[in-house]
Structure 1
Amino acid sequence: MHSRIRLRRTAPALLSAGLLLAAGCAQETSRPARTAAADVLLQAAADPGPSPFTGSSAGAPVAAPGTHPDSRSPAPPGGGKPLTRTGSTPGLYGGTRAVPSCDVETQIRMLAADPAREAAFARTVSVGPARVPAFLRALTPVLLRADTLVTGHGYRAGSVTAFRSVLQAGTAVMVDGRGLPRVRCACGNPLDPPGVADVAAGKGERWAGFDPARTVVIEPAARPVAELVIVDVERRAWIARPSGDEGAGDRAPAVPPPYGPGTDITGPLPELPPAGTKEPRPPKRSERPEEPAEPTPSRSRPPGDCPPSAGPTPPGEPAGATGAPARSPGETNCPTPTGAPTEPRPDEPRSDEPEPDEPPRDPVPSMTGEPQTSIRLPRHERPVDGGAARRR
């Protein structure tokens, strides 16, 4: 009886203690999120910011590859809210051809020199400490081409801190296989998507061209990206950089984007193919339609310029006197009427039939007035110069 009474009295107490403990845990776990969302820090490209994980692994500083404020397109409507761009958007990132924006191996060595920092870094990016080198080598070093809102993670007194920040265009970062920034090279801090934040209330020194309405939030691509199409900030040309490559595999893209490398990435962009669709490729030589061969110039007449049919030119009359143009040597492309035999040229002997005997000549009047007939000799008895003798 007494045990039942004790159980009734202690059960509400235990329940109340459990609720208080759960509330305390909920408050403790939600505190970093409120702290991270409280402020937005504006960070210039070369500023390492608070609580850096490591030293800088960024390459030589370059001019910010964003579009100059004076040449920007009209600001998009949105009430100052950041724009959204997918990590595979061509021109979202920049770089220099065959030059890495970050030294990945240097970043690996700096983390390995402090096992506590390396372990904290591994927890933040959700990999084991032994997998940190492989994680970093799988990233692609590039430069931001627009002011970008992120969640940064610092390291202070053995603990990881989280804060929202806007990274200036030109900041060197490493992006993953879906085009998402994961590490800032100037400080080694891990990066995550930002969530909702008030960019207009950002704290820190503002740089020229900063505009909350042109700040970009990068979302991961729907599928892994084999290569990033970035802008060569020195030559103002397109570069196709393979994912996980530091620049050694840079080349020109097989299919250039539908806009130029100088396009304002924070302005309206032409429609891109939906994610997952294959880009159109130029047809191979064997697939191209055959083009008509160009006509070869010759001495023949063009169609429709053939002389009309005419008989032989009478003796003593020059060629072309009948109104038909005289043929020049080699002109043999005039069409022959269907069914009509092809007439050989006058200076060519017939080869398909024997030479006929001479036709009978008209009687030549003699001196006596008596008609004479020509005597036809057999072919083998004809004199060689008979024709010349007759002409004499």
Structure 2
Amino acid sequence: MHAPPRLRHAVLATLCAGLLAATGCARNAPDGGLGTEGTAGAGEILLQPAAAHGPDPFTASTVRRSGAAASATPSHRAPAPEGSGPHTLPGSTPGLYGGVRSVSSCDVARQIRLLAADPARQKAFARAAGVPAAEVAGFLRGLTPVVLRADTRVTDHGFRDGAATAFPAVLQGGTAVLVDGRGLPRVRCACGNPLGRLAGADGVRGPERGEAWTGYDPARTVVVAPAARALAELLVVDSAHGRWIARPTGDEGARDRAPAEPPPYAPETDITGPLPEVSPSPSARPKPETPAPEDCPPTGTTPPGEAVVAPREPGAATDCPVPSGEPTGGRPEPFPGIPTDEPTGTPADPDAPPEDLVPLMTDEPQTSIRLPWREDGGRPPGDGRGTVHG
């Protein structure tokens, strides 16, 4: 016996509604984007591929494909050791993000327009992002467009019934995001959703929902912690050319440049594994000591005023270290600011005309004293007082 058509339609509609509620079937999102109905349940972690809009997206995608050329999670990595968990890395970690030099991965201006066109969404976005609604545009302009280079755990948000919803998620490596001045992901460009930081790796364990991508390993995911201080730039991997980029924070790529000092590891280094420590800057590195040649005399300290070390023997090493207190020129130097007693030019003529006389600085009528030349470099001839002319 067949049920009437109207009854069959009602049963099918009821079954479909149940399936939608249970599985989170896709539905049309604002501006034609595709999202997933429903958010992750309590304790569930939603896996979000790089291009997916996710549940209840705030806006349509603002991803610029030319600037989001970073590869997805590599599939050739060795599995992480058993028992290991997500890696917490500061937002200042070189290579945490990627991109393409001089190209933005997100259209920030379009993101601002999409939110401004719907005041309810903009208000919910502001509340989830922790900024006043009137300052959303300025907040977005101050963020830096980059691409995740590792599967990253975040608190994601959706927009439903006029308010923001929150849920833990794993964003696939290759996802275009906007990060703040401490290196934290704040907006997911594929859906305009505001992002928040997870409290820590222990708070993101739980059942996962969604289809995992090739190479996904929960033990190799990353939790981003804020940098210790505000960053002037991010050291980003140019995924199109395999080089380092220094991208100023708050810039969309127009001021990209090569870093003054590259990180101590290659751009293709897997940041989910052990990373070498950053080496000190060249100015802080101690200079290596150069060993003295074997034929150098023993070095010692010659106190000031003592006899000067004799010149080296002919044929002796010329790069021997100079002992402390020994003048480098082989003979003593005069004290700075004190005139030397040795002649420096043509000797003065004792019978020179009066213009060679040195005036004495007195208030009395001018009196001059002649400074005779001393041939022996010591006391002047006679009593040493010179000849006075009045």
Q: Which runs of 5+ in 2 are unaligned?
A: 1-38, 285-313, 316-390
How high is the TM-score relative to the length of structure 1? 0.59
Taking the aligned partners of 1:208 and 1:80, their CA distance within structure 2 comes to 20
Asked if the contact 1:36/1:164 (under 8 Å) is kept, the reply is no
Quick one: higher RCO (CA 8 Å, sep 6+), 1 or 2? 1
Summarize the Cα distance change of 1:90–1:114 in structure 2 as closer, same or farther, 3 Å threshold.
Answer: same
* CA shift in 2, pair 1:232/1:132, >3 Å: same
Report the residue type matching 1:155 in the other structure.
F
Q: Which residue of 1 aligns with 2:100?
A: 96
On the 8 A contact 1:55/1:188 being kept in 2, the answer is yes
Q: How does 1:234-313 map to 2 (within 5 A)?
A: 234-272=240-278, 280-281=281-282
Deviations 1:2-38 (A, max 9, x none): xxxxxxxxxxxxxxxxxxxxxxxxxxxxxxxx98752
Change in 2 beyond 3 A, CA 1:162/1:36: farther
Contact 2:43/2:205 (<8 A) preserved: no
Whether the 8 Å contact between 1:225 and 1:243 is mirrored in structure 2 is yes
One-letter identity of the residue aligned with 2:130: S
Measured against aligned partners, the alpha-carbon deviations of 1:291-344 in whole angstroms (never above 9, x if no partner) come to: xxxxxxxxxxxx98xxxxxxxxxxxxxxxxxxxxxxxxxxxxxxxxxxxxxxxx
Equivalent in the alignment of 2:64: 59
Structure 2 counterpart of 1:176, which letter? Answer: D
How far has the Cα of 1:201 moved from its partner? Answer: 2.5
Q: Is the 8 A contact 2:72 2:172 kept in 1?
A: no
Aligned equivalents of 1:184 and 1:163: distance in 2?
A: 14
Distance 2:41 2:108 in 1: 27
The CA distance in 2 between the partners of 1:229 and 1:124, in whole Å, is 28
Deviant stretches of 4+, over 6 Å: none
| d(CA) in 1 for partners of 2:251, 2:82 | 36
Equivalent runs, 1:112-261 vs 2, <5 Å: 112-195=116-199, 196-199=202-205, 201-261=207-267
Output the amino acid matched with 1:218: V
Q: CA, structure 1 residues 136+198, in 2 after alignment: closer, same or farther (shift >3 Å)?
A: closer
Q: Read off the aligned partner of 2:272 and give its amino acid letter.
A: T
Larger of the two Rg values belongs to structure: 1
Q: Give secondary structure in 2 for the equivalent of 1:69.
A: coil
TM-score between both structures, scaled by the size of structure 2? 0.59
Cα pair 2:62 2:106 within 8 Å, conserved:
yes
Contact 1:40/1:197 (CA < 8 Å) preserved in 2? no
State the alpha-carbon separation in 2 of the partners of residues 213 and 66 from structure 1. Answer: 17
User: Is 1:82 the counterpart of 2:86 in the alignment?
Assistant: yes
Q: Could you tell me how far apart the structure 2 residues matched to 1:78 and 1:178 are? A: 31
Please say if residues 59 and 100 of structure 1, whose CA atoms lie closer than 8 Å, have aligned partners that are also in contact: yes
Alpha carbons 2:237, 2:244 under 8 Å: kept: yes
Q: Secondary structure of the equivalent of 2:209?
A: coil
Using a 3 Å threshold, how does the CA distance of structure 1 residues 246 and 233 change in structure 2: closer, same or farther?
same
1:117 shift after superposition? 0.8
What letter corresponds to residue 181 of structure 2 in structure 1? G
CA shift, 1:136, in A, is 0.4
Count matched residues.
247
Change (3 A) 1:281 1:140: farther
Matching residue's letter, 1:85: L
Give, as a single letter, the amino acid of the residue that structure 1 aligns with 2:198. P
**TM-aligned CA deviation for residue 199 of structure 1:** 4.9
Partner AA of 1:228 in structure 2:
L
**Partner letter of residue 116 of structure 2?**
A
Q: What amino acid does structure 1 have at the position aligned with 2:159?
A: Y
Residue 42 (str. 1) matches residue 47 (str. 2): yes
Native 8 Å contact 1:152 1:189 kept in 2: yes
Instruction: Answer 1 or 2: which has greater helix percent.
Output: 1
Q: CA deviation at 1:216?
A: 0.5
- Residue 78 of structure 1: how far off its partner (Å): 6.2
**Cα shift at 1:170:** 0.3
- Quote the offset at 1:184 in angstroms: 0.5
The Cα of 1:123 is off from its aligned counterpart by 1.4
How far is the alpha carbon of 1:272 from its aligned partner? 2.6
Aligned AA (2:102): A
The one-letter amino acid of 1:90's match is: P
Question: In structure 1, how many angstroms separate the alpha carbons of the residues matched to 2:212 and 2:84?
Answer: 15
Pair 1:111 & 2:120 matched: no
- Whole-Å separation in 1 of the counterparts to 2:79 and 2:262: 26
1:37 and 1:176 map into 2 onto residues whose CA distance is: 28
What is the distance in 1 between the residues matched to 2:236 and 2:191? 23
CA contact (8 A) 2:40 2:168 kept: no
Deviation sequence 1:246-266 (CA, Å, 0-9, x none): 000100000000000010111
Inter-partner Cα distance in structure 1 for 2:224 and 2:244:
20
Contact 2:44/2:206, CA 8 A, preserved across alignment: no
State the AA in 1 paired with 2:46. Answer: L
Distance 2:71 2:170 in 1: 16
For residues 153-193 of structure 1, the C-alpha deviation after alignment (integer angstroms, 9 at most, x for no partner) is 11111011001100000000000000000010011111111
